[in-house]
Structure 1
């Protein structure tokens, strides 16, 4: 066998292997959640989803393999300038999903790279409209703004933007030092306010206690005066009842036989005792202005004595 025959044999062996490889590659089994973009002679033919798919060797070729699963694309950190001219570094993650494989394959060269660039541009614009103090508070609104803008552009690429999350916002070291001092001052301020509020509450509680104590004392004094007044009233009432009972007994005695004469005699004796009490040691005679009243008294005494003698 000559040299030419050896070369020809090698050529036919290589050709056979190539043809066998092509026929083997013509039979494709697509995994779940994947899609194969098939071109025939350089032109889009079809999209193959999960399952068994035979192709025509040498004519059909799988040009793109895409996944229909949700993907997380890391957006590298970049410099952003806030509204108050502070340079910060921001990075994030964008979550997306291919919903139209044809658009994702033919409407954009690299949809991942395009999404990253669009997200970075939108993020710079969003942070440029906010001051540094508000960037930490407006994370949710910035995420929503980036999702809205990127999803609108990605719709032409057959991509659905699910969400965007800002990972880190890193200000310069000088700004971090200033923020730390500000936070320390705020904590000291809150501590002073808390202590003052505690002192105020303590003073209020003490004043409320003194107030309640004074009220209780006044209520006690009031009740004491009421009790004393009621006791005095009961005493006066008892005296009045006793006096009334005595008067009733005297009146009943007067109505009895000789009662009136006994009253006259008692009045005359009391009258004479009072006159005798005001008599002076000198030779002075004190007579009542109404002599007739003395006669009446004496007549009453004589009458009482006569009745007593007759009895």
Structure 2
């Protein structure tokens, strides 16, 4: 019975020692093994063996990307305005040995360096620049921290600002400024609209007056052309009639017929003249109608002779 207990104890001890010697490292993990207090090797993912009581796993690191929140801190801008800034830092351990022995706490070191760098970068900018330059601040912090974290085996992938919060009185003043700026733009747009409306109205009125004047000018031209053509037609007709009368006077019996027509026309005209007004001027030789007709006949004869 005692021998059985001894064997059982030996088996249990051997199993315990074997379990201590076997190490299964998960994927994307790195374990640092020290032998008698001195760095020995890095265990890769999978099944690994160590020497019990001689080797020990001193550090265990996660090699995946690690998002870490940067606590809010108060920064002072170039124009002496206090800003509360917080963010997120994305880290990844690339060298497990440097992470174990380069710094007692690499994550704390990276965090502190990112805060001091952010305070320095904010101090270079005015308030408006700090609020509108997040991308520049992110890149500046990430580059500065990454350069220093190389000795700690840490790679800074990126830094993102979560919030930049000015004091309440600054926020209130900014809101008033934005409201005033919007009202100013609204007034400018309104005045521009009124100006454009007046320009369009004046242009329309100007074009209307031009069109009316052009229409009047065309009408006057057409009227003058019509009157000129009418005068020309009347003159041509009169000239033709005179030529016909002159030609007819040279025919046999033409003078007698013309004499009778002139006497008739003379009497009708004087009769119409007496009816048209109450005052009538009578020539001295009105009774000598023959002399008047004779004078007219002489003019017709001359005209006929010329034709």
Shorter-chain TM-score range: 0.7 to 0.9
- Structure 2 stretches of 5 or more lacking a match? 268-281, 303-307
Tell me the distance in 1 between the aligned counterparts of 2:20 and 2:237: 136
| Gap change, CA 1:56 and 1:244, over 3 Å in 2 | farther
- The Cα shift of 1:173 comes to 2.0
Q: Which residue in the other structure is 2:84 paired with?
A: 89
Q: Distance in 2 between matches of 1:147 and 1:236?
A: 100
- RMSD between aligned residues: 4.0
Deviations 1:107-159 (A, max 9, x none): 12222111110110010001111111221111111111111211111122222
CA distance in 1, matches of 2:229, 2:23: 119
Deviation larger for 228-237 or 162-171: 228-237
**Distance in 1 separating the partners of 2:225 and 2:22:** 117
1:175 to 165, 170, 176: 170
Q: Name the structure 2 match of 1:108.
A: 103
Report matched runs for 1:83-232 at 5 Å.
83-232=78-227
SS in 2 for 1:62: strand
Mark the CA change 1:157 to 1:238 in structure 2 (over 3 Å): closer, same or farther: farther
| CA distance in structure 2 between the aligned counterparts of 1:189 and 1:224, rounded to whole angstroms | 52
User: For 1:8-27, what aligned pairs fall within 5 Å after superposition?
Assistant: 20-27=15-22
| TM-score, with structure 1 as normaliser | 0.72
State the shift of 1:169 in Å. 1.2
The corresponding residue for 1:65 is 60
- Distance 1:21-1:211 versus aligned 2 partners, 3 A rule: farther
Instruction: State the 1:170 CA deviation.
Output: 1.5
Q: Which SS does the other structure have where 2:40 is aligned?
A: strand
Match of 1:55 among 47, 50, 55: 50
Q: Against the structure 1 CA distance between its residues 180 and 232, is the aligned structure 2 distance closer, same or farther, given a 3 Å change threshold? A: same
Could you say if the C-alpha distance between residues 21 and 181 of structure 1 is closer, same or farther in structure 2, counting changes exceeding 3 Å? Answer: farther
d(CA) in 2 for partners of 1:247 and 1:228? 28
Q: In the TM superposition, what whole-angstrom CA distance separates every residue of 1:61-116 from its partner, at most 9, and x where no partner exists? A: 22222222211111101111111112221111111222222222221222211111
Q: Distance in 2 between matches of 1:144 and 1:33?
A: 27
Is the counterpart of residue 34 in structure 1 residue 39 in structure 2? no
Cα distance in 2 between the residues matched to 1:65 and 1:145: 31
Counterpart-to-counterpart distance in 2, 1:251 and 1:46: 146
Equivalent residue pairs, number: 278
2: CA distance, partners of 1:215 / 1:43? 103
